[in-house]
Structure 1
């Protein structure tokens, strides 16, 4: 299939598809004259890439996952589960950090309400 059809099937822009190809996320397509001809299975790969991006994965992370697999195939379920667990831990760390910052902001606001002349920011409690 040509890139226009692949784009319509996946919702990925042509520019994104070229980038996926350049990064090795999708197989290099065959050529028919000056046109790229993508294999049908590329549709599912592009949809998977877009899904992973919507869950917070960066293209560089996906490329690293693929580099650890043989024959540039998607990793097995165990490899995917490990990456999902890693991403979940990273997000949880961000949530914990933001929660701490919110608590400190609330404490500072309370101190200011009690004594408006005090602007003292403690780093942790």
Structure 2
């Protein structure tokens, strides 16, 4: 499968990010196990309004990539989650993304850095 052209996007597609109870647990564990400096560097970044709190603008990538929510894994590959830089990827699938679990909240809205530190 072709990869998304995420470099240079500055996280503009990274929000809002609904998360499930299981995803919340995994993210909390990931943040807890991060080296203190890496965690603080990620936490203290300025982001665009509405951008996910875990988008690492300095390094232009997801700061929790290995435990990113399912919607982030699906982004760009479904009709209802189009990548504006490569919409042909999703259009080729002709399917819509449907979450398998009900979210418990949204990152940056219901869950902020205070919930993870």
Q: TM-score, normalised by structure 1?
A: 0.22
Q: TM-score, normalised by structure 2?
A: 0.23
Which structure has the higher relative contact order (CA within 8 Å, separation 6+)? 2
More helix by share: 1
Q: Bigger radius of gyration, 1 or 2?
A: 1
